[in-house]
């Protein structure tokens, strides 16, 4: 047995005479955590994992080749070949993906199966409930006592088959302590195999490999520098090892460290009983050879650590993913480009592998290629090669790589602020000098003319803006003009919201293909899309002719971007491009509530448990808007089609285009512009223009009764009684037949009391006078039975199905109508 450092093309280095062994495993890596600890409150479940602080090692769940069994182990985080260095539950694998790694009540680190049975434990006694387990960047999993931070257990003292730098291999006869390597049963099965390796603390210590209890190989004695039975150590491992021996105590411990920092060096006791050295050889297998390794606008350099970095002027799109060695999301531009020649410049990147998707054009030299790019607003980079000509790029730069030699010069278009005022561009310097001279010569004249026209232009703009100004609410008056809103969105000011490019959304939605259309509203259409990284989105595309849509666009950008709640739909970003205006939301797999609730074929998917979950969730969302958010928001258009359902049937309130912000002490407001949907508006709002949080309560009550009955409020239009759902419910209540309102498919007798309680709450919400209706805080308490005794409801407010068209009426010429649940607004003329 010899230990050598010879390299093989597989990317591994092994001892002479041995075939290279590379472990390949099928596994799932979950980039859900950027922390390196497990505590009593922070645990991981399959397929989650933790990563060491320097991103060198990862601890999680894996399956060996040709096996579905799951093991908890530690492996290298930054090399393509999946290489395990330590396994916890070697003798008792999990048979499914229900495993958990956590700190138990005794302070031990344990692995639990799906039945919560402990299948592996650190099994030490001097722990505390507040203990933590931390994965170090050397690959050592350390368990610390939470009371005094003392190390009570570490994986380096309980190795598997791998000997890592700074790990200790040794024996102490007096205490019985022993750290030994044990082989796997075979190269893809972590079960403890036949072979073990340990230090024998004789007068002159030696390494022995044992086959069971019989000697299989020995290293020869230690001479304070090497084991003399391993001749290759003279040239390869000289000074890399250290052995501390105490013959009187009967102890000897061996450690090794990097001498010249080879890449990921380790020793493995394989299933054939050979102690083999491995190294990852970047020269033989480059990490950067993977297509798009660093994502859009990311550059890969195998000589750097980490290998991926963002181009100058760009920052990681997901800092959390980058910190864990997942660079696929790439980078995003820090300062957006403007389509003026003098506002941008080019940064030269030497010896580069050019990105994919180049456009070719004829050019005789690099300067001509640069001019072509400058004259094209969509050109973001160019490169010139004598034998190819001019290459340019107008989309995300993907698969960039930095070479140590060869390649071509790539020129990246950046804002001058990112270039340091053009210091790297000789032409920019010349232009600056010329401009300074011109300003000095004719400065006075130009300045006078400029100021004159500037003042006239500002006066004109003030007039235009005054005509355009639309009240968005107290918190958003500075954004009430659409031009200023667009400018602020593009410049990243005042609105903490990502900006999407039109091209990006066109690609995501297959150019807004009709097959991807999710629905149509008064504002325009909604399309399903998928971003480059795989995230599914919903794109609300504003109709160019919709005045309501324009108001909604501004309102949602200002309002919903400031709101965060699990029962409110999440706005991911917006897009303005010419006349195109779009809002980008998280995609809801189950679409809107009305699509399920009022469809006879799909309504069966909504059993009472799901319906009550939706009722509670919408209630909590409204309570957040009315009381718990930074801004007091009145939604004004709550209805079934504006309740979206994710894949877990969690409800999300959407469509804040008609919402209004109230001041801290404001309870009510009047408007001459009545907006909303017929059947959901409260009487005082529809008839008098007065709205408050009690208006939303009324809408919530209608929605609650619809959910319980499975019928639209407007479905009684042709009913024998001249009544809507509210009137029908009130009639049944007075006749003590309220159970007849319940959707027939809800056959859960055990839930009947809860269902009847919801009907009672719904009738309290739709009482005619706002002062009689409960607040959302009281409603949530009623639904959770915190308020056990409910008052008797009074007569609901009935909204007539038709509104008189007489020119004179007591309603101050307000008129409201709605067709097919699409909100339509008519504004009083002036």
Conformation bin of residue 115: beta by default, left when phi > 0, alpha when psi is -120 to 50 = alpha
Q: What is the pLDDT of residues 633-690, one digit of tens each?
A: 899 889 999 999 999 999 999 988 788 887 555 555 655 556 667 788 888 888 888 8
Task: Establish if 830 belongs to a structural domain.
Answer: no
- Is 546 part of a structural domain of the chain? yes
The alpha-helical segments, DSSP class H, found in 186-235 are: none
* Residue 627, CA distances (Å) to 290, 407, 435, 776 in order: 51, 60, 57, 9
> For the CA atoms of the chain, what is the radius of gyration?
35
Residues in the chain: 830
The Cα–Cα gap between 362 and 360 comes to: 7
Flag whether 468 is in a domain. no
Which of 101-105, 204-208, 416-420 ranks highest by mean pLDDT?
101-105
CATH number of the domain that 84 lies in?
Answer: 2.90.10.10
Same domain, residue pair 273 and 295: no
CATH number of the domain encompassing residue 625: 1.10.510.10
Tell me whether residue 784 is in a domain.
yes
Spatial CB neighbours of 208, under 8 Å, sequence gap ≥ 6: 197, 198, 199, 200, 215, 216, 217, 218, 219
Q: Is 633 exposed, middle or buried (0-12, 13-18, 19+ CB in 10 A)?
A: buried
Q: Tell me which of 112 and 426 has the higher pLDDT.
A: 112
Share of the chain above pLDDT 90, in %: 38
Tokens 């849509």 appear where? Answer: 549
The answer to whether residues 573 and 586 touch, using CB atoms and an 8 Å cutoff, is: no
- Which pLDDT score is estimated for 276? 87
pLDDT tens digit string along 708-752? 999 998 765 444 454 689 999 999 999 999 999 999 998 767 788
Q: What is the pLDDT of residues 681-700, one digit of tens each?
A: 888 888 888 888 999 999 99
What mean pLDDT comes out for the span 266-274? 92
| DSSP SS3 for 691 | strand
Those residues whose C-beta lies under 8 Å from the C-beta of residue 540, and which sit 6 or more positions away, are 523, 524, 525, 526, 582, 583, 584, 585
User: Which residues pair with residue 120 across a beta bridge?
Assistant: 111
**Least confident interval from 125-134, 149-158, 496-505:** 496-505
| Rounded CA separation 60/773 (Å) | 53
pLDDT at residue 12 greater than cutoff 80: no
- Say if residue 610 is in the same domain as residue 750: yes
Tracing tokens 């600056």 back to the chain, one arrives at 432
- Write the pLDDT tens digit of every residue in 400-457: 988 877 788 999 999 888 886 444 455 555 666 667 777 777 877 888 788 878 877 7
Report pLDDT digits (tens) over 586-624: 999 999 999 999 998 899 999 999 999 999 999 999 999
Question: Which CATH number covers residue 547?
Answer: 3.30.200.20
Task: Output the pLDDT for position 328.
Answer: 87
Token pair for residue 505?
A: 């959304």
Task: Output 94 or 67, whichever has higher pLDDT.
Answer: 94
Give φ, ψ of 101 to 5 degrees: -115, 125
- C-alpha distances in angstroms, 389 versus 249, 367, 383, 385, 801? 76, 12, 8, 5, 71
Task: Indicate whether 572 and 500 sit together in one domain.
Answer: yes
pLDDT for 431 equals: 61
Q: Are residues 737 and 755 in the same domain?
A: yes
- Cα torsion through 702, 703, 707, 709, rounded to 10: 20
| Tens digit of each residue's pLDDT (9 = 90 or more) over 316-353 | 998 888 877 789 899 999 998 888 777 889 999 998 98
Do 204 and 228 touch, CB atoms closer than 8 A?
no
541 is in an annotated binding site: yes
Higher pLDDT residue, 545 or 787?
787
Q: What is the extent of the structural domain holding 278? A: 1-21+159-285
Judge whether 446 lies within some domain: no
We report the CATH number of the domain holding residue 257 as 2.90.10
pLDDT of 68 over the 60 cut: yes
Boundary (domain end) residue, out of 155, 185, 216: 155
The total number of structural domains in the chain stands at 5
- Asked whether residue 430 is assigned to any structural domain, the reply reads no
Whether 585 contacts 537, CB under 8 Å: yes
16 and 86 within one domain: no
My answer on whether 519 and 616 are in the same domain is: no
* pLDDT above 90: residue 787: no
Q: Identify which of 47-51, 130-134, 542-546, 761-765 has the greatest average pLDDT.
A: 761-765
Same-domain status, 599 and 521 = no
Q: Is the pLDDT of residue 69 over 60?
A: yes
Nearest partner of 149 among 41, 37, 33, judged by Cα? 37
Among residues 539, 569, 586, the one where a domain terminates is 586
Average pLDDT over residues 561-585: 86
Nearest CA among 80, 1, 55 for reference residue 280: 80
Asked if residue 320 belongs to a domain, the reply is yes
Residues 630 and 739 in one domain: yes
Please calculate the CA angle 331-337-339 and round it to the nearest 5 degrees.
150
Q: Which of 135, 155, 175 is the last residue of a domain?
A: 155
Q: pLDDT digit string (tens) for 155-195?
A: 999 999 999 998 988 887 666 678 899 999 998 899 999 99
The answer to whether residue 36 scores a pLDDT higher than 50 is yes
- Residue 14 pLDDT greater than 80, yes or no: no
For residue 227, give every residue at least 6 positions away whose Cβ sits within 8 Å of its Cβ, in sequence order, or none: 206, 207, 219, 220, 221, 233
For residues 114 and 255, membership in a common domain is answered with: no
Q: What pLDDT shows up at residue 170?
A: 86
**Confidence at residue 264, expressed as pLDDT on a 0 to 100 scale:** 78
Share of the chain above pLDDT 70, in %: 77
pLDDT band at 824 (very low <50, low <70, confident <90, very high): very low
Q: How far apart are CA 819 and CA 310, in angstroms?
A: 51
Residues 630, 555, single domain; the answer is no
Q: Give the mean model confidence (pLDDT) for residues 503-511.
A: 84
> Does residue 562 have a pLDDT over 80?
no
Shared domain check, 180 and 261? yes
Q: At how many degrees (to 10) do helices 752-765 and 608-623 cross? A: 30
Per-residue tokens: 383: 């490169």
Q: Which residues are catalytic?
A: 637
Strand partners, 94: 70
List, in sequence order, the alpha helices (H) in 624-692. 683-688
Question: Is there a domain that residue 445 lies in?
Answer: no
Does residue 68 sit in the same domain as residue 189? Answer: no
């Amino acid at each position: 047995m010899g230990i050598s450092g010879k390299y093989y093309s597989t990317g591994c280095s092994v001892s002479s005479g041995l075939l290279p062994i590379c472990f390949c495993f099928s596994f799932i890596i979950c980039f859900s955590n950027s922390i390196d600890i497990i505590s009593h409150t922070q645990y991981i479940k399959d397929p989650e994992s933790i990563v060491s602080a320097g991103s060198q090692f990862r601890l999680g769940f894996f399956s060996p080749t040709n096996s579905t069994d799951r093991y908890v182990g530690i492996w290298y985080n930054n090399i393509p070949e999946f290489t395990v260095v330590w396994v916890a539950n070697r003798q008792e694998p999990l048979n499914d993906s229900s495993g958990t790694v956590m700190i138990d009540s005794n302070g031990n680190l344990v692995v639990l199966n799906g039945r919560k049975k402990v299948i592996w434990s650190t099994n030490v006694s001097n722990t505390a409930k507040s203990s933590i387990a931390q994965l170090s960047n050397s690959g050592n999993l350390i368990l610390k006592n939470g009371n005094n931070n003392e190390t009570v257990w570490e994986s380096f003292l309980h190795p598997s088959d791998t000997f890592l730098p700074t790990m200790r291999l040794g024996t102490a006869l007096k205490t019985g302590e022993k750290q030994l390597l044990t082989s796997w049963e075979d190269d893809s099965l972590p079960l403890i195999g036949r072979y073990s390796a340990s230090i024998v603390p004789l007068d002159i210590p030696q390494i022995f490999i044992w086959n069971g209890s019989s000697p299989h190989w020995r290293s020869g004695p230690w001479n304070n520098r090497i084991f003399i039975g391993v001749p290759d150590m003279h040239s390869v491992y000289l000074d890399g090892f250290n052995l501390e021996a105490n013959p009187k105590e009967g102890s000897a411990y061996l450690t090794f460290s990097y001498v010249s920092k080879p890449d990921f060096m380790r020793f493995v006791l394989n299933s054939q009983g050979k102690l083999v050295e491995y190294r990852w050889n970047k020269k033989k297998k480059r990490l950067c050879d993977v297509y798009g390794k660093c994502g859009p606008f990311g550059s890969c350099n195998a000589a750097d650590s980490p290998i991926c970095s963002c181009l100058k002027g760009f920052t990681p799109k997901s800092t959390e993913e980058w910190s864990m060695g997942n660079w696929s999301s790439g980078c995003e531009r820090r300062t957006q480009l403007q389509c003026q020649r003098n506002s941008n410049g080019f940064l030269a990147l030497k010896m580069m592998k050019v990105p994919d998707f180049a456009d070719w054009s004829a050019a005789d030299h690099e300067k001509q290629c640069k001019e072509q790019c400058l004259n094209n607003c969509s050109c973001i980079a160019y490169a010139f090669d004598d034998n190819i000509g001019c290459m340019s790029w107008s989309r995300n730069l993907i698969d960039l790589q930095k070479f140590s030699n060869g390649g071509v010069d790539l020129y990246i278009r950046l804002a001058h602020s990112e270039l340091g005022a053009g210091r790297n561009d000789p032409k920019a310097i010349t232009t600056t000098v010329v401009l300074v001279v011109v300003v000095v010569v004719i400065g006075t004249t130009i300045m006078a003319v400029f100021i004159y026209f500037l003042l006239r232009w500002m006066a004109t703009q003030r007039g235009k803006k005054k005509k355009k100004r639309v009240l968005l609410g107290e918190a958003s008056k500075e954004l009430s003009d659409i031009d200023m809103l667009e400018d602020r969105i593009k410049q990243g000011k005042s609105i903490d919201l990502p900006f999407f490019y039109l091209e990006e959304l066109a690609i995501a939605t297959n150019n807004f293909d009709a097959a991807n259309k999710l629905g149509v509203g008064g504002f325009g259409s909604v399309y399903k899309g998928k971003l480059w990284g795989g995230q599914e989105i919903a794109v609300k595309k504003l109709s160019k002719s919709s005045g309501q849509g324009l108001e909604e666009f501004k309102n949602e950008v200002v309002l919903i971007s400031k709101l965060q709640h699990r029962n409110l739909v999440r706005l991911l970003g917006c897009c303005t491009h010419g006349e195109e205006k779009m809002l980008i939301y998280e995609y809801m797999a189950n679409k809107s509530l009305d699509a399920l609730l009022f469809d006879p074929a799909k309504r069966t998917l909504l059993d009472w448990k799901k319906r009550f979950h939706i009722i509670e969730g919408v209630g909590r969302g409204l309570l957040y808007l009315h009381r718990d958010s930074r801004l007091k928001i009145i939604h004004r258009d709550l209805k079934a089609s504006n309740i979206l359902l994710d894949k877990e049937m969690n409800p999300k309130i959407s469509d804040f285009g008609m919402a209004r912000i109230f001041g801290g002490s404001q309870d009510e407001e009047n408007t001459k512009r009545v907006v909303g949907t017929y059947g959901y508006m409260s009487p005082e709002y529809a008839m008098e223009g007065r709205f408050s949080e009690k208006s939303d309560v009324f809408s919530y009550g209608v929605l609650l009764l619809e959910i319980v009955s499975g019928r639209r409020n407007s479905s009684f239009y042709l009913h024998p009684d001249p009544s809507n759902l509210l009137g029908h419910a009130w009639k049944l209540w007075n006749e003590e037949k309220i159970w007849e309102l319940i959707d027939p498919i809800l056959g859960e007798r055990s839930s009947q009391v809860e269902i009847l309680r919801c009907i009672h709450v719904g009738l309290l919400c739709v009482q005619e006078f706002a002062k009689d209706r409960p607040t959302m805080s009281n409603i949530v308490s009623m639904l959770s039975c915190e308020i056990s005794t409910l008052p008797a409801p009074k007569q609901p407010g009935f909204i007539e199905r038709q509104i008189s068209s007489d020119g004179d009426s007591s309603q101050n010429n307000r008129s409201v109508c709605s067709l097919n649940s699409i909100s339509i607004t008519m504004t009083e003329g002036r």
